[in-house]
A and B are shown apart, each in its own frame.
Chain A
Amino acid sequence: MFRRLLDWLEDRTGVEGAVKHFLYEDIPHSSGWHQVFGSVALFAFLVQASTGILLALNYAPTPGEAYDSLRYILTQVTAGRLMRALHHWGASLMIIVVVVHMIQTFVWGTYKKPREATWIAGVALLLLTLAYGLSGYLLPWDNRAYWGTVVTTEISALAPGAGPLLVRLLGSDGTSIGAVTFTRFYVAHVQLLPPLTVLLIAVHVYLVRRHGVTPTPEDEDQPRKKFYPEQVAKDTVAIFGWFAVLMGMSILARVPLGHVADPTDLSYVPRPEWYFLFLFQFLKWFEGPLEVVGAVIFPALAVIGLVLVPFLDRGKMRLVRQRTGAIGLVLLAAIFWGGLTARAVATTPETREMDMSLVKPWQEISAGDMASIGLFRRAQCGSCHELGKSGVGPDLTAAPSSRPASWLEEHMKSNLKAPGLLTDAQVQTLVTFLTKRGDKAVEAWRNAPQGAVEGALIYQARACASCHRLNGAGNDLGPPLNGVVERRDRAWIEGHFANPPKYSSGSIMPSSQFKPDQLKLITDYIMAIPK
């Protein structure tokens, strides 16, 4: 039955014959493990395409909303965090495999006549891969994305002659970027680059088939092999290995989301993605008017050099172990790239930016609301008012209370489990909370960790809000506490509590002596509040 279906399909379309033709291609006897990288690169592209399409299904491609929708993917959508990690790490691992593929062809010298066009198509594919990296970098629309892309557009402005045109093409005014640049990067990433890539891959693979896999001089007297099954099996093993690394990284290594892009945040120090770090470091060598050499002329010459490789090296095919010049060049390039990258990593200050995809509602509500949740728990109001259910008393999370404040006050005082469990001021705090709380506070009410709630109770008891602002509530006599974790470390904050003037001269903050456990609670709490 199945056979008949296949025969019918073969007769009408020839698809089975085409597949067989593809699989039973003759390849040289010497083919083997060193030739698996092209297949892996193709597979990497397919992974990027499919995860990219899936991400796009939950992504709003406008500045601002892009950030919110990515945060939604990371915190709300099933498997969303994994999908984003696959796309993020997949990009890096794709760059690696594409470069390894290129190094292999270079070292073996397989670009030589008649395969020059195959090599040039490959160089174009490498540039496309890098273009995905550059355009995709902006799409999360966090500070990293924004400031990184500002640098990209400013570098393109340096291009001799074409600079102003390039800047206009990228939708920038030369100093800042906005909605137009964002949209152009998005369109490039999802509408222009993919069809170009598919086209070039088709050309590249067609040319490989047209000229056949390159034989070595030793292949002359050897019988040829079939692509399937031996080489296909080797390719599959390599793809499996590449994919296993990708899955492992995606599960184990969290990809953070920074603060939403802020063009006024001048404290942000942008860094490019790791594979461009060497260029970033390289630029430091060129000062003033020479900058254009490092930023534009050198990269352009490097690309032109790559394209010209098959025309510069036109000797006869030689065995790979005799190609010492090529191997030496690769080693030199590796040292150049590795040294610059290592230097860039070493001089990059450690980022203290919070991962905003991990921020929970309790970290975004006022300390007063958090303290109220603490009072609600401490007074065991939940034994009658179970959250999310109507029990002995009504469910208080369904809607803000519509009772008059006087009624609520009276109700609380007459139903306390023990007299004096809440002071009058604390009753007032709780009444305000019950009538005014927002949706985020309800979420926090259900699941804020008790330690953070205790920290907020200390914050409230010490009246920190009479000088400091935190999540919109409090005064501005002292510095705002949002994002303090990005400015100070734990030792500084804890030491500062005991002796403020020692840490910031002229401080009028009174010193606070805490017991060790209390000091930890209050410090943990304020360090959890995002910028």
Chain B
Amino acid sequence: MESMENGKKYIVATSKATPESFLTQSRRSFYAALVSALGSAIGGALALPSVAYLFGGHKFNPKSNFVEAAKLTQLELGKPQEVTFERTRVDAWRTFHEKVIAWVVRTGEKNVVAYAPQCTHFGCAYHWEATRNQFVCPCHESRFSIDGKVLGGPASRPLDRYSVRVENGKLLIGSEIRKA
């Protein structure tokens, strides 16, 4: 209200003011309320789609897209093997072929486990050390057992796994990665 006072003083002092040229208090509040109401409406109508756009994600084809990675006969029971295969990946507006690596352990007649090739600590590529009978990460010495459990080092969770299927003597690996 101070400035209102100032305003009045200014006007009275410098011009031939007529009384009706001043806004009445109720008109002032009406204008102020109108500015707030319309301003909020505009802000909301702009913010809502923007938030949806930023955080709403994109439609995603949830197909798990299994591809053949190996024949079962190539896999030895209980011995981890590094398997490389190709698949098509859709990355937002791009579709491309890529090579994928999995550490595969055949655990039974028709059972296979496929680990994603990155350490669960900071994502370095680990490898199997047959002499120590464990997976070892060269970066920070995280160690994992053949069933993916953490044996030591800074990693806090077991190795991630690909979804797998065994059909007609073939190992199929899906694009989905499950965190333990």
Interface of A toward B, CB cutoff 8 Å: 20, 24, 26, 29, 47, 50, 54, 57-58, 60, 65, 68-69, 71-72, 75-80, 82-83, 86, 221-226, 229-230, 232-233, 236-237, 239-240, 243, 247, 388, 394, 397-399, 402-403, 439, 442-443
Contact = CB atoms under 8 A, between A and B. Distances in A.
Contact of B49 (A83, A230, A394): A83
Given A77-B56, A402-B167, A402-B170, 12 more contacts: A24-B7, A78-B57, A86-B49, A229-B23, A229-B32, A229-B35, A233-B32, A240-B38, A398-B165, A402-B68, A442-B63, A443-B61
A403 B172 CA distance: 13
A80 B50 contact: no
Contact of A439 (B10, B17, B46, B90): B90
A236 B32 CA distance: 11
A223 B165 contact: no
Contacts of B50: 50, 54, 79, 83
A94 to B, nearest CB: 15
Contacts of A221: 15-16
A403 B7 contact: no
A79 B42 contact: no
A82 B35 contact: no
Nearest to B11: A223
B131 interface: no
B21 interface: yes
A69 B93 contact: yes
Given A60-B93, A226-B7, A239-B42, A233 B31 contact: yes
Nearest to A395: B64
A75 B59 contact: yes
A322 B6 CA distance: 36
A395 B28 CA distance: 68
Nearest to A72: B93
A71 B90 CA distance: 14
B56 A78 contact: yes
Contact of A237 (B34, B52, B170): B34
A232 B41 contact: no
A216 to B, nearest CB: 15
Given A69-B93, A442-B63, A78 B17 contact: no
A76 B21 contact: no
B152 interface: no
B153 interface: no
Contacts of A439: 61, 63, 65, 88, 90
Nearest to A55: B53
A240 B41 contact: yes
A134 B59 CA distance: 32
Contacts of B88: 439
Contact of B56 (A68, A79, A442): A79
Contacts, number: 124
Q: Main SS of chain A's interface residues? A: helix
Interface residues of B, number: 52
17 contacts: A47-B46, A78-B58, A79-B49, A79-B53, A83-B50, A222-B21, A223-B16, A236-B38, A239-B38, A240-B42, A243-B42, A388-B63, A399-B68, A402-B68, A402-B170, A439-B90, A442-B63
A398 B15 contact: no
Contacts of A72: 58, 92-93
A236 B52 CA distance: 25
Contact of B45 (A69, A243, A399): A243
Contacts of A58: 92
Contacts of B65: 398-399, 439
B94 A230 contact: no
Contacts of B168: 402-403
A398 B58 contact: no
Contacts of A86: 49
Q: Which 10 A-B pairs give the minimum distances between C-beta atoms?
A: A78-B56, A229-B31, A399-B66, A72-B93, A233-B31, A68-B93, A79-B52, A76-B58, A79-B53, A223-B17
A200 B53 CA distance: 30
Given A76-B59, A226-B7, A233 B35 contact: yes
A527 B85 CA distance: 40
Nearest to A231: B31
B61 A237 contact: no
B148 interface: no
B109 to A, nearest CB: 18
Contacts of A75: 59
A77 B14 CA distance: 59
Given A79-B52, A237-B34, A69 B92 contact: yes
Contacts of B63: 388, 397-398, 439, 442-443
A75 B61 CA distance: 12
A45 B60 CA distance: 33
B3 interface: yes
B26 interface: no
Given A79-B52, A237-B38, A399-B67, A224 B31 contact: no
